[in-house]
Every structure is written in C-alpha cells, then in structure tokens.
Amino acid sequence: MKLRFNSIFLVAAMAGSEAFQVLDTPRKNNACRLHAGSESADTGENEAMSFLRKIGKVGGVANVDFTNVMGVDEGPAGKTIGGGGTKPMRKAKSAYTAVTVDGLVDDLSEPFPVSSSGTQWAGFTDQVMGGRSSGSITREVMDGKLANVLRGKVSLENNGGFVQMATDLALDPSVSRTVDMSNYDGVELEVIYKGDREQEDFNIHLKNDNCDRQFSSYRGTFSIPNGEWTTVRMPFSDFIGKGPGAEEAPFDPSTLRRIGVVAIGREMEVTLGLAGLKFYSVL
C-alpha cells in the first residue's frame, strides 16, 4: 500500500540558522489522510503491517510527499535538518548510541523518520534551483525487509536532476555539528532498486567541514541490480570532491556532517529501498 501525505517542506534561511517548516496542505480529491495506527478505508492490512504501523515502524505523519520540496543537493551547508509541525516522540539524546561509537547510522529500529543514532531523515530535490524533480520518503516493508523507501521522478529540466534522502550525523549539534569517523574505512548500506533497467546507479554524498557551499560534497557512485537486496561497501577512497572547498581538499572523515543517498544525473523513475546504513571498519 502506498501512503500519500500532504506535507511540504519549506526552507527558510535566516541569519545563523536554518528553519524547516512542515505545512499540512490537503490535496484536491484526497478524501482521507492516514496516520500511524490507521488502516486504509479501501484496502485491508495483514497483521504484520498493522503491528509495524502501531509501533511506528511504518506509516505516520513522517511518511512525506516532498513533491514541492525546496532544497539543494546537500541541503543547507553546515546546517542541521530540522522540522516543524507534528513530530514523532523521541527519546532523550542520552538514550541513543552516537554514530561514532559503533558506526551505525540507522538500522530502522526507531520510529520513522528518527534514525537509530538519534538523528532525523529528510528529503531534498532540485526545485530550489528551478528544477522539476519530485519525490517522497516512506517507511514500509519492501520484499520482506523494513525499509526507508525513496520514490520520485528525477527530471533534468531547468538544469535540475536529483532527489535524495539525507540525515545529519551529529547526535547533539549543540555540542558539535560534526563527527569524527576517521576510525572507520568506508560506508556500507543495504539497498534494493526497482525499475525498468537491469541495474541502476546511485550516489552516496558526504559533507564535511571542507564543503563550504550548499552544493559541495564528496560523492561516490554504486551500481545495484534490479529487484534484489544488495549489500554495498564503498571505501572512503571512492569519494571524490565536487564543488567549492571539496574539490580543493582530499576527503577527511574527521569532520563529517551529513550523509545522503541520492538519485542524480539522469532522468529516471526512482524506487530505492534502504534497510540499513553504517560506517564500516576492515579491522
């Protein structure tokens, strides 16, 4: 079952801060809005899906359609993704394990959109640059695994061309907006692609303190087959700097701010599921 939610993320840049406001905007001919624990009026749910919905693993107000998201490829440079409107209940920061401890960004053990490392997922498209790409992020079971699912349409109109789901890495930005991942060797993710090609390319984008512009990042590309869960490992040596700051400096994992999973650079219909994301060490 595909859930449609009528939330629009608006980015409002202010001096020294970044605000993201979530507005509930009913669509025409959309008679029903689904919330956590609810069941579709016209389609029944099996017990497993009902249980996952009840505990906040799927559904909920955070399954968002960001067709009209205003964002940039990497989000605001050096800023923390925030949210307005209704938020999921969160534990105290001390109850989460920071990503620096074990490398784990998200194993989907927390209610969406909160990651297991205490940060929060959000979506971005090229529309702030005049692009026409659109998308949504949902939490659902996909081919037997619980996943964050990025769906959308990548359009190259008006020099656009990406949709992404991303999360900051620092558990407590009031202490530090960066994390030191220099004890790790790369990024590992479990993903599935569904589409009309035998395989598809996607990117991982990392931002650190060298990325002083909104569109600057260190980028690595991976290819995955259609229709099967795949574990991908990308060593830090695969990441290449793009944009001011990143192009002039080698990649440094000691000041990481954000990680994003991105569909970019080609017109495509995107269906990409993410069941786990972490930093790995070969030792």
* Sequence-separated (6 or more) residues with CB below 8 Å from residue 51: none
Beta-sheet pairing, 162-168 with 121-125? antiparallel
pLDDT, residue 46, reads 56
Give per-residue pLDDT as tens, 227-270: 999 999 999 999 999 999 999 999 999 999 999 999 999 999 99
Q: CA-to-CA distance for 259 and 280, rounded, in angstroms?
A: 14
Record the tokens describing residue 100, joined without a space: 């620096």
Q: CA-to-CA distance for 7 and 64, rounded, in angstroms?
A: 6
- In the chain, the domains with their CATH numbers are 7-280 (2.60.120.430)
Query: What is this structure's pTM?
Result: 0.75
Give per-residue pLDDT as tens, 60-109: 444 555 544 444 444 443 333 334 444 566 789 999 999 999 999 999 99
pLDDT at residue 8 tops 50:
no
Q: CA-to-CA distance for 183 and 194, rounded, in angstroms?
A: 34
Give per-residue pLDDT as tens, 175-208: 999 999 999 999 999 999 999 999 999 999 999 9
